[in-house]
Amino acid sequence: MHSEVAVSSEDIRVLTSQLAADPSSLVFLPLGEALRRRGQLDAAQKVAIAGLTRYPDLADAHDLLARVLGDRGDLERAFDEWDIALRLDPGHAGSHKGIGFLYFVAGDLQQALDHLEAARAANPEEDGLDAAIARVRESIAAGGQAAGSAPGPGALPADAAREDEQASRMPEPAAGGRSVPSLFEGLEGADDGLLLLDAKGLRLAGGLKDPGGTQVGDAVAAHLAGVFKDASRAVRLLGLGAWRSVAAESADANFYLAAPTTETLLLLSRDPGVPIGRLARLADRAAETARAWLEGPA
């Protein structure tokens, strides 16, 4: 897992002494990274969080925490931290690399490529980026057959077994690199407006585009996890029994949320001309499809 340059305990001791001598210094960054490389993730996380308390607007600090969280398997929070880093510094190479990796794991090869290329543009000399980019391009060209395989060494820090397990649950991208939600193929709106996510806010299948045509499924999935949690909490505390659906109408779209299983959420989005009642029917069909896939053979 930790294939980078070896870090000695002497290195840790020196960096710790420097931090102790000046707690406000930025030495927490190399110290946190050194601890992470040695697998001391608890300590690395504490150092990163302590550093962020002093430097909440430092993209490098968010990047450090994201790497630690990524090593711990908390990909959702890792994504959040890299997202923050990029808001603070849109050209931050490490964060583009990290988020690119997460998109690769999730099967969104185009997003992965975009971020890796941004990382290379910000840091052309970094070893391994060319290889990672070439790998993603190969995957796209091959119709996504290699999607979900662990990136090569030197590309990104990750747990290979976890990537394979997650990626194996992704519908395969179609030939030509276009990510098609084949799970919902044949259903109305399969390409856009049907989104399946897990309780942690990770997209499992489907997609959603904004009015400009940009895929926003992952971002929407992340926010919908909070809706899932809030709806469950509301019905529990108010004694309303299990929740069945959340419908929302806006000026330019209607949304319908249902839970195919206790750990997943399905979103349907249509033009406001499609009434909510009809969305409910469509959601029933899509939920059946989702359940069959989720509960089917691994």
Partner 1 sequence: MRVIEPWVAEPLQRFLTESSARLALLMTASGQVVAQHGFTRALDVMSASALGAAIVASTEELARQMGAGPFRALSHQGQTQGLFLSAFAVPRARWIVLVVYDSDSSLGLVQLFFDQLVRELQAAAPDGEAPREVLAADFETELNASLRSLFGR
Partner 2 sequence: MTTGLGAALEPITRVRGVRGAMIVSATDGILVAEAVMEGVDAQAVAALAAGLAARLRRATDAAGRGAPVFIHLEAEAGAILAVPGERDLLVVAVTQADVNVGLVRLELRRAADRLA
Q: Which residues bind partner 2 (CB under 8 A)?
A: 208, 210-212, 214, 216, 219-220, 222-224, 226-227, 230-231, 233-235, 237-253, 255, 269, 276
Task: Indicate whether 46 belongs to the interface with partner 1 (CB under 8 A).
Answer: yes
Q: Which does residue 131 bind out of partner 1, partner 2, none, counting CB within 5 to 8 angstroms by kind?
A: none
Phi-psi region of 176 (alpha: psi -120 to 50; beta: other; left: phi over 0): left
Task: Indicate whether 152 belongs to the interface with partner 1 (CB under 8 A).
Answer: no
Location of structure tokens 């790497």: 67
Residue 215 DSSP symbol: B
Residue 186 or 211: which CB sits closer to partner 2?
A: 211
Task: Indicate whether 146 belongs to the interface with partner 1 (CB under 8 A).
Answer: no
Phi-psi region of 186 (alpha: psi -120 to 50; beta: other; left: phi over 0): left
Phi then psi dihedrals of residue 139, to 5 deg:
-65, -40
# of chain residues touching partner 1 (CB under 8 A): 12
Say which residues have a Cβ less than 8 Å from residue 108's Cβ, sequence separation at least 6. Answer: 179, 215, 218
What track of x and - describes contact with partner 1 for positions 222 through 251 (by CB under 8 A)? ----x------x------------------
- Reduced to 3 states (helix: H, G, I; strand: E, B; else coil), residue 198 is strand
Judged by CB under 8 A, the stretch of 39-47, 72-80, 138-146, 274-282 that binds partner 1 is: 39-47
Among 49, 131, 227, 247, binds partner 1 (CB under 8 A): 49
Helix 93-106 crosses helix 75-88 at what angle (to 10 degrees)? 140
Q: List interacting residues with partner 1 (CB under 8 A).
A: 9, 12, 16, 40, 42-43, 46, 49-50, 53, 226, 233
